[in-house]
Structures are given as structure tokens and as C-alpha cells.
A and B are shown apart, each in its own frame.
Chain A
Amino acid sequence: MKKVSFALNGIVQHWEVADGETLLASLRREGYFGVKFGGCEKGECGACTVLLDGKPVNSCSLLTVQVEGCHVQTIEGMGEHPDQGWKKTAGLHPIQQALVESGAIQCGYCTPAFALAAKALLEKNPNPSEEEVREAIAGILCRCTGYLKPVQAILKAASILRGEVDEQDWIEDTGVPLPVDWPSGADQSPAPAGDFGSPEKLVLTRRKVFMPRMFITPEVRQKTLSRVGKPELKVDAIKLVQGKPAFAADMEKRGMLIAKVLHSPVAHARIKHIDLSKARALPGVAAVLCYKDIPRVVYSTAGQSDPIPGPLDTFSLDSKVRFVGDRVAFVAAETEEIAEQALNLIEVEYEPLPAILDARDAMKPNAPIIHDEPEYVNFGESNPQRNLAAQIHIDIGDVEKGFEEADRIYEAEYVVPKVQQAHIEPHVVVTYWDEDDRLVIRTSTQVPFHVRRILAPVLGLPVKRIRVIKPRIGGGFGGKQEVLIEDVAAHLTIATGRPVLYEYTREEEFIAARSRHPMRIRMKTGVKMDGTITANEMRVLSDTGAYGCHGLTVTGNTGHKSMALYVGDGPYRKSPNIRFYADVVYTNTPPAGAYRGYGVPQGFWPVERHMERISRDLGLDPIAFRLKNAIREGELHPFSTAWSEGREPRPEIIQTVGLEECVRQGKAVIGWDQKFGNPEWHVVAGKPYLRRGIGVALVMQGTAIPYLDMGGASIKMNDDGSFNLLVGATDLGTGSDTVLAQMAAEVLGVPVDDIIVYSSDTDFTPFDKGAYASSTTYISGAAVVKAAEDVAEKIKKRAARMIKEQHPSVQVSPEDILLEDRKAIAPGGEYVTLAQVALNALHHTDQEQIMGIGSYYSPVSPPPFAAQFAEVTVDVETGQITVDRLVMAVDSGVIVNPVTASGQIEGGMTQALGYAVCEEMVYDQYGRAREKDLVDYHIFRANEMPKLETVFVQTYEPSHPFGVKAVAEIPMDGVAPAVGNAVLDACGADVFENPITPERLWRALKEKQSVADHH
């Protein structure tokens, strides 16, 4: 141990620390929870950034003893809430304020790091360029935002710190998209390329936010709303920007143990012998568990509604391992170091079994059987004897007849990779017994209610003795729609009686968490010479890895969404011919699971690459060809009568399709007509080896699962006229708590900050199926509206009575009352305030708790649509691709919050960009992962981003009280094929497998050259 003295946020500290302890560990132990753990091993994520003598460094890779005599700053020293009762503070730092106002905070896990890095930059350089800002924050990875809004915020803060208060100046200086015509609506005609509004038309918002471009349809324009549609501040932004202890691991519990898991080093084996004695004997070890120590309960880790639409094929611990990274044993110890040592003392003898590492081998005769356990529970067509986790056969119309009627048939095979969600907060859980002997599971999950239901039998507890608390989530993207690690900590708490913290390292995220299903996809499309699609077929081989979680539903969505977009034209439009066949097979690789987009990005890579190739071969305009065949308003969703996530399908008419407008607006913004087919634009002066290209992809997604997804909400009125909104919905950084509050505020006639949102806790909040399937705004939002309407009705009744008492001559009935500006107002202008109503209800007359509940499930899943555009520059000698620009025009119905919604699009496009060019998970011949960190698995950094632009084409979806459709997942779908198509446009090379790495493109260029030489 060593004594170390240093200044922490200006106050001298004298700490005694172990020589080898990192500054991150010391700070968090001392309660500085604003410093975050990203699980990385090489300092690549930057979530733990602190300022050391004014410079940003990673506290995870700095020894505490190294800061002797130094000045350390954390987010806790930067700024605080301005109003703390009778005590007023200096408030937030201008950088924090700008991050809040600019919508730069999504999950907020990396926000303290951004704030500190910005502070260091602006103290050194008060007037940075955008490039300098990007360089300053490039050491901090963000998986949510796409960096655009953090950059805007820092530039804005710089401007404010320089004393420049003229908003217009800083908007122009930064050169980011201009706000347009809000709230009154934009022109109905497409905008000129790259400019959606002239400065004189700008309506600057009161909060100086950067608004995305908004195209407003007449139906939307007619709606006059005061909270919905406005860029309200995110309700959790103030706490997140201060680095408050809001996340699962940001807590202290006396006697808390640290859990670790021994992972399998082999891809497929039986555990012949396991000896835990040495590990158990190690001082400081509280428990070591293997399969012999806990009940053998088969279950599925997929966080889905009951019954799970997939096989039950998983055990907490088993006598067999099925992939490198599978679980062998659990350890709980006093410290992480002791837990690691204990892992090394566990002796395991494996009996190796032949492994399947290529999905194409899974169903071959005599292939090893991965699931030979007798407890296996089938679902649908699953058949473990054939390594088949799920199978889908869908025929719509007469596909063979459609092919016969085609002038040409186009066939090709496409390949999409396994990729990782890479949320910056790793999976993390804390479990403990409460004073009532109920097990509390505080976990970073998207599905708290599913966690409770699924784990109850696994742990031998009834549901009622489990409480799941979901604090803030540092990103999930589907990865936390899995009951992945909660059982580990829970078993160890049961074994020891003590609190247990289990937090994945980044390596564990890669070897033991879930990922996007890799697939091989064969397309066959019949087309007439005029471009009419007569039949379309997709055959999929989907690799679910060692367990079948989400295998059926993810793969089903691959066809359900992407193959529904192009129904054909003329008679084929009325009766489309579509085939979708899929085999979902087991392999000895880490299991796949849910990842934002949920199978749909896998579908649109082949569909949109295929459409591009067909249109070019037929000499047709690629956009006109697509629109000719695309589904239109009022038409039947072709898959709605064929498949519904393993449940009974029911017909569904699509009521809003803004696709053509998306195309029009997107083309205008990117300047399609000036670039596509223009040879001059495609060359780069002075660099003959560079070629520019432009590409497009049209996409559709879904909004929740019809007849299944249910969300609940309750609202309670407080003495001052404020409201507690309790929702089971799980805001994983998307801003869903904020949009739910906006909807409640709209109905109740109050500002958003009068709505106190709490989500979620299985003891206190109503049920919600959780955050997935792009459902929260639509499903949970409708539940909130119903609850708010329930409350509003009670308020109005009481207010009418109070007004009559105050104004005996006034005749007013409850239905005439308007709730607005925190008042209940009669048609004649007489009013009572909501605070008066609340006091009356709680204390004065006919006392009651004004409270409402609502729950909602939907009979439809209205699809959002989008046109995704990409510009690239290709080095034809090396295969290097630089993506220069991404433009996405999206019809997500009415946008409840333009700033949080555009943040979703920007962040989604950035993740999808990785799918396009750099992200993939590869395994060697032993099933060992190539990627185990965020260095080899490269995700985009702030200083290498293309320009991102978002356009919202607002339709009014009639199935929702505020006309909304989904936003969250659709940005994942189109970027990769748009980039692929842009590459084709640039250099004529066709790459069938994403990501388009330099060598893949180089080989495609060689192939093209070889064909040309042959001819």
C-alpha cells in the first residue's frame, strides 16, 4: 500500500491505495461514479476519462500512485444542479448545459468523458474548429450519438464561453444542418440540393437547438400540439451530464462480492472432470459453483414474452460446453483480483467433441449434435438432431408462376457477418437479498419483467420473491434484451447470502455475449423488361451459434420486412409472389441474439444490393425501378397473413407510406440529380486512382409486434399539480422516458418538467414487455396517453365542480374543460390551477388520489419507411473506401421529439456504417474469436465520421393517438447496401459480402477486370 496525495476537483486528498490499483478503481471506490468502466483492456473506449493536470487521460490505465502531486478533475467537480432548495449553486458548466440543450446525451454513459475532454480543449483553444473538436473527443467511444450532437454542443459551448450570444452566428459557423420552419411546417416542394431553408426563413428555437430537417405533411400540419413535436430537453439529461450514480454498478453495498466466470477454452466438449477445491480454498473466495452445485433447469435467455418463441436449450451451468466462451464455473470473491486467481485454480478436464464452425456444415449427415440434452424443449420446427434451431417456410402467391412469367431471372448469393452491439456500458448486474428475503436484481437490462419471469424457475424462486430494478442503461441495442448474466450473480447471492456484482469485461462481451446473426442469403428475382417484379425469393441460412435464443424471430424478420418492401407492380402488386425460406442452425460459436434492426439489416443487404444490380442490368433508373415495385399506402402487408414472430398472423393494411417523399427529399439533400450518372463528379482531380460514387437503399421496418407487445403506465397527481409517471418501459438511452413524458404532458396540459418519470422496477411500475421491436414510443406511448386521459378525466370532473363553486353563475361540464398551462380552463376563461385541483382532491373535498392507469397493445405494426443515401470515395488500387456522406430521409410518422429522434437516426446510421465497412466477428479453426476488444473490432470514432444528415418526412399514422411510428431501428437497415451500391457506382465492382473491407473490394475489382479482359 502507498499513500498518495493529489488534488481532486481542487481539494487535496490523501489516499492509501494498493500499488497496482488503477485510478478508475480508486475513484469509483471513493464514490466518484461519474468515472465509468467500459471494460476495455487497451484504453480504447475512454469512458473513464479524467483530466490529469488539465489533459484528458484514461483513468483505467493509470495507476493511482502515478497521480501523486497532480491535479485530477472528474465530472463531479464540473458543475451541479443550479437549484438545491434554499441553496443556489453556480449551476452546470456551460459545456454541460450545451450538452443537455443540444441533445448530445443519449444513454449518457460517455457524457462525463465528453464534458471533460471538451473542457480540456476549450481551456486550451477557446475557438476550435469542428475538426479540432472531433480530434479532442476521439479518444471517447460513443455508440449512441454518431458524435454529431456532442460536436455541435461543444462548438456551442465554445461560442458561449467566448461571450458570443448571437445564436445565428454559431449556427452558421458550425456549418451543420439549419433548423427549418419549425413549428409551422416546411415547404411541400422538395428542397434544393443541400439547402432546406434560407436563413431568412429560419425560426430559431428558444433553446438554440439544432433541429433536423422536417418535412411536414398536411395531415400533420393540421395538428396543434404544445408538447408533442417539440425538442424538449431529455428528462434524464441533467443527472447524466453530472455523472450522477444512475447506472447499475454505481452503488455501494457493504460486503459486496465480485463475480467472475470461467469460460470454456474449447468450442465443443464434455466436462470430464472439474475440481473446484483449490479455488474454494483460496482466502477471500466466498463461493465457487459448477454444474454440480445448482439445479439443472432448461430455459431460454431470449428476453421475450411468454411463451418464448424459440427452443429451450440453455442451462445456467452444464456439463457440456458448446462454444469458446461458454460457461464452466462461477466464482464470487472479496476482490476482483482474488476472483481472477480463483478462476486460475479451477481444474477442468475436457473431453473434446467435433465442432461445427461453419453454418453450412451444421445439417450435413453425421454432423456432431450440439444439443443432445434430454431436457431440450422444441419450438415449432426446431430439431436438435439436425442442429436446427428453427425453420421458416413462407410462400405468398404463386412464386413459380411468377418466375415463369418473368423476362429475366436474377440470382445471387450474399453474405452478412456476425457483429456486436458494443454498448459502452458492459452487461452489469448487482444482486442481493432484501430485508424481506426477496431477491433484488439491479441490472442493466432492456427487459426487466422478462428477467423476473424467466429467472424465477432457474433460481427456484417464485416470481413474487424477485424484484428487478432497471436503473439507467448505458446502451443496449438489443444486447440487453437477453437474460444473460443476471443468473450468475443471483446464483452466487443465493450461495453466499451476500450482495454480488458481476460486470462483463470487453473481452467477455465479445466471447460470451450475444451478437447479430450472420447469414448466407440466396436471392432469386423474376423481372419483366419494364422493371416489374413478378416473383421474389429469399433463402436464408442463419447461424444462431450455440444456443437458439431469438433465432426464429430474428430470422423471420429478415424476410418479413425486407421481402415485404417490393411487392411488384400491376397485377403483381395486387397479388405478389414472394417466397421466404430459412434454416436457423446451431454452430459451436458464441450465440447470436437481438441486435437493433433484429434481422432486418441482414435482409436489406441482399435485397437492396440485388435491386441495384437488376436495375443497372436492365438499364433502368435504380430509384424509379424501386418505387415502381414498392409497397404503397392502403395495401396489405404481404407477410401479415403469413407469419407473426411464431404466433398467429392476422392481415394488416399499411396506412401510411412516406417512401416517395423520403426519396424526393433525400435526393434533394444529397444532390442526387447532380451526381448520379455525372462522369465529372465521379473523378477526383489529381488522383486518378480515386473514384466517387453515390448509392441509395430503400427500407422499411416495423413498429412493435402486433397482438403481443403490451406496455403499461400509471400516473399519479401530486399536491403541487405535478405528476409521477411510472412506466415499465425501459429507456436504454433512446430518450423514450422523455417522449413518454411529452405525451403525458400534452394530454395533461403541463410542461414536461411537471412529469416525473420513473422506469422501471417490477415492484412499482406497471408491466411493459421492454425496449425492443421499435415499440416504446408507439405501444408504451399509447399506454401513457390512456393513463393520462384517465387522469385528465378525473381532473376535469373535479375542476368543473370547483369552477362552479367559485363561479355559481357559470355552467360548465367536465368535457368542456381544457387542460393547458397547468390550468383547467372553462370555455368562458374561468379556471382553477392543477395545484388547486390536487390540493382539493388530496386534502379538501371528497378526497381521492387522482390517478390513472393505461395499458396498450396494438393490432397493427405500422412500418416506418426510409430512403438511405451514401456517397463514397474508392481507391481502386487498394480497395480502400471512404464514406463521405450519409443522408437518411425517414417516415417515422409524427416525430414526438425532433432532437432525440434525429439523435437516434444519426447514431443508428453510425452503427450501420460499421456494418458496411469495418465491423465483423471472425473465428479461427478452433472457434476462437479474432476480435476481443474495441481495437480489433473497430467502431467509428468522432474524428473519422462522414457527414450525417437526417430528414424527417412526417406522415400521420392513424393507429396511434399522436400519429407516431417507430424510429429506433430503421437507421440500421439501409446504410450498408447504400454504401455497397455507391461502391458499385464508383468503380463498377460488386461486393456481395459485407463489411466491404479493402481486400474484399480489391478482389471484386480484380474480378471485374478479369471479366473485362476475358471479353
Chain B
Amino acid sequence: MIKEYYRPKTLSEAEQLFKMGDKKYVPLGGGSLLSRSKEDLCVVDLRDLGLNRIEVVGQRADIGATVTLQQLLESEFAHATLKEVIRKSATLNLRNQVTLGGYVVSADGRSPLAIALMAMDAKLIWHPNQETQSIGDWFSLRQPRGFWIHAIQLNLNLVMDYEQVARTPMDQPILAIAAARWPSGRIRVAAGGYGSAPLLVLDGPEDGGVIEAVRNALSASGDEWATAEYRQAVGQVFVRRIMDRISSGLQSK
């Protein structure tokens, strides 16, 4: 239950709240999750701190933490695959509300965009020290490197592709595989559709061994929604399809 709500107008005002340390202060993005919290919290609304901008510098996008998923979907750099992944991640009502920072913080293994961001090796920039944290590190430990996420950095100089299997087209994934390839040939593959966070399958200079990697990565993926045997089999199918598309240049940037 939210006990206290603050809406600072400046970064320093917000910092002061977190520095007080007398209560549990939590950054508030869109509120879609925290508004329902059963835990007693003091929330600090980040909306007036100017974090709702997307800046593209060269081959990098700096996405402010309070950019909503719908803003991201409508951004110029969001290609068809990324748009589709965002669509699968939340409906329009929620996309209008959910911020990217809030989404990343609360994502689990069944969150499509989180799986895609994992493949794209997104970076989290934390306030106040602008410390950078890879999204993989965040999902591994969930250890904040600051008071709040200031921005999420995306490398745009890569191709990303995504496949999922679900009961219906817009259902949560039972298994999802996302893969990104850099011009250097670097390949990074993430899996999801289960568990508490997306899983890194492979990050290497090339795609050699990726089929084995996905089979290994999914060997303990069984849960109440699917067996590991099934996920392993389908994971290999997805990786093959994605790699075929990426190699043939059929994937949009």
C-alpha cells in the first residue's frame, strides 16, 4: 500500500528523498505495478524530472526511464520486430502508462521486451552516478546501482529478431528466443517464456554452437507451463529460423 507520494520537480529534490533513508522510497514510473503494492511504500514519481525523452546519438539510443512503452513503439528507430515485441508485451492501455524503466525493473522471464532487450545487450544508466549496468547483470542480481534508472541505452547498429510460441497470438510466451547480431559478427541470444528473468543463451563472436547453447540453456526450463523437453526442442527450431533470417538479411534493423 502506498503510504506517501512525492512528485519532485528537480533531480536534486528527488535525490534528497532517497538520501533521507528514513523510509522505504521507491521510484514510481507509470504506477501500473506499484499502485497495487501490498507492501507499505513511499513512492517518488519521476515524471517531472525530464526522463521522458528519447535521444538518438549516432548508433545509440538513450531512452529516458519514464518513456512509455507506447512512446518507444512509436519512435523512429523502432523497427517492425521491436514494435511487434512491444505490442506483445502490453496492451495499448498499459503501454500508455508503463514506463520503460518500470518495465525493466518489474520484468520477469515471460516479458517479451525484456527478452529482446537482453539480446540487444541494453544498458541501464543509474542516477546519480550515471553508472552503467548491463541488463544481464540487472536480471541476474537485481541490484540497483543508484536511486533510480535514469535511461536505458540501446545499440542501434545491430539486427534483432524474435520468435515466440504461445497459446494465442497475444498471449504470454511459453518460450521466446531473441537474437541480435552486430556488424562485427557478434551474436547474442536470449531466451524467456519462463522463470524470473530472461536468460542469456549465448554471447559470442559468431553463431557457432548456438543450437547446442540453446539446448543446454533450456535444459532446466521445465515448469507448470511446459516441459524442458518441449522448450529445448522448440528453442532449437527458433534459433535456426532466426539465424536463417538474419543470415539471409530478411530481418529488419
- Chain A residues proximal to chain B, CB less than 8 Å: 2, 19-20, 22, 41-44, 46, 49, 52, 55-58, 60-63, 65-66, 68, 117, 135-136, 138-140, 337, 689, 875, 877-880, 882, 917-918, 922, 924, 930, 935-936, 938, 940-941, 943-944, 995, 997-999, 1002-1003
Contact = CB atoms under 8 A, between A and B. Distances in A.
B42 to A, nearest CB: 9
A620 to B, nearest CB: 33
Contact of A66 (B3, B31, B238): B31
B99 to A, nearest CB: 12
A52 B2 CA distance: 21
B220 interface: no
B166 interface: yes
B127 interface: no
A140 to B, nearest CB: 7
Given A943-B170, A999-B226, A63 B91 contact: no
A997 B227 CA distance: 12
A43 B233 CA distance: 33
B92 A941 contact: no
28 contacts: A19-B3, A20-B1, A22-B35, A43-B97, A46-B91, A52-B96, A55-B96, A56-B96, A57-B93, A60-B35, A60-B36, A61-B33, A61-B36, A62-B31, A63-B2, A63-B5, A65-B5, A139-B92, A917-B168, A924-B224, A930-B224, A936-B172, A938-B168, A997-B174, A998-B165, A998-B230, A1002-B230, A1002-B233
B87 interface: yes
A689 B236 CA distance: 14
B91 A139 contact: yes
Contact of A878 (B31, B168, B224, B234): B234
B166 to A, nearest CB: 7
B167 A135 contact: no
A66 B45 contact: yes
Nearest to A924: B224
Contacts of A22: 35
A944 B5 contact: no
Interface in B164-178: 165-172, 174
Contacts of A57: 93, 96-97
A136 B73 CA distance: 14
Nearest to A995: B167
A999 B227 contact: yes
A792 B173 CA distance: 61
A571 B122 CA distance: 73
A999 B174 contact: yes
Contact of B94 (A41, A139, A940): A139
Nearest to B171: A938
Contacts of A878: 165, 234, 237-238
A52 B94 CA distance: 12
Nearest to B4: A19
B92 A879 contact: no
Contacts of B7: 65, 68
A999 B97 contact: no
Interface string B40-64: 0001010100000000000000000
Contact of A882 (B45, B70, B169): B169
B94 A877 contact: no
Contacts of B237: 689, 877-878
Of all A-B residue pairs in the complex, the 10 with the closest CB atoms, nearest first, are A139-B93, A20-B2, A139-B91, A918-B167, A944-B169, A19-B5, A61-B32, A944-B170, A55-B96, A877-B237
A586 B1 CA distance: 39
Nearest to A61: B32
Nearest to B94: A43
Contacts of A938: 167-168, 171-172
Interface in B203-236: 224, 226-227, 230, 233-234
A716 to B, nearest CB: 45
Nearest to B224: A930
B2 A19 contact: yes
Contacts of B30: 62
A877 B35 CA distance: 41
Nearest to A46: B93
Contacts of A136: 92
A65 B171 CA distance: 32
A62 B91 contact: no
Contact of B97 (A41, A58, A117, A995): A58
Q: Which of A20, A46, A56, A941 lies at the interface centre, i.e. has the most chain B CB atoms within 10 A of its CB?
A: A20
A930 B47 CA distance: 35
Given A20-B1, A938-B167, A938-B168, A58 B92 contact: no
Contacts of A999: 174, 226-227, 230
Q: Which of B30, B47, B97 lies at the interface centre, i.e. has the most chain A CB atoms within 10 A of its CB?
A: B97
Contacts of A63: 2, 5, 31, 35, 43
Nearest to B47: A66
A993 to B, nearest CB: 14
A758 to B, nearest CB: 35
A370 to B, nearest CB: 25
A998 B174 contact: yes
B131 to A, nearest CB: 28
Contacts of B28: 66
A785 B28 CA distance: 60
B5 A20 contact: yes
Given A19-B4, A944-B168, A1002-B230, A58 B174 contact: no
Contacts of B92: 56, 117, 135-136, 138-139
A58 B234 contact: no
Contacts of A56: 92-93, 96
B91 A2 contact: no
Contacts of B170: 138, 941, 943-944
A693 to B, nearest CB: 17
Contacts of B1: 20, 337
A88 to B, nearest CB: 34
Contacts of B36: 41-42, 60-61
Nearest to B41: A20
B167 A997 contact: yes
Contact of B165 (A42, A117, A139, A879): A879
Nearest to B172: A935
B2 A58 contact: no
Given A55-B96, A66-B5, A135-B92, 5 more contacts: A43-B32, A62-B35, A63-B31, A882-B169, A997-B174
B3 A917 contact: no
Contact of B166 (A55, A61, A998): A998
A58 B33 CA distance: 12
Nearest to A2: B5
B93 A58 contact: yes
A917 B167 contact: yes
A821 to B, nearest CB: 47
Contacts of B238: 878
Given A63-B35, A66-B45, A879-B165, A58 B94 contact: yes
Contacts of B2: 19-20, 63
A66 B28 CA distance: 10
Interface string B83-122: 0000100011110110000000000000000000000000
B56 to A, nearest CB: 23
Contacts of A944: 168-171
Contacts of B35: 20, 22, 60-63
Q: Which of B30, B92, B227 lies at the interface centre, i.e. has the most chain A CB atoms within 10 A of its CB?
A: B92
A3 to B, nearest CB: 12
B93 A49 contact: yes
Contacts of B171: 918, 938, 944
Contacts of B97: 43, 52, 57-58, 61-62
B96 A61 contact: no
A139 B93 CA distance: 5
B46 to A, nearest CB: 11
Contacts of A44: 91
A52 B97 CA distance: 9
Interface in B1-41: 1-5, 7, 28, 30-33, 35-36
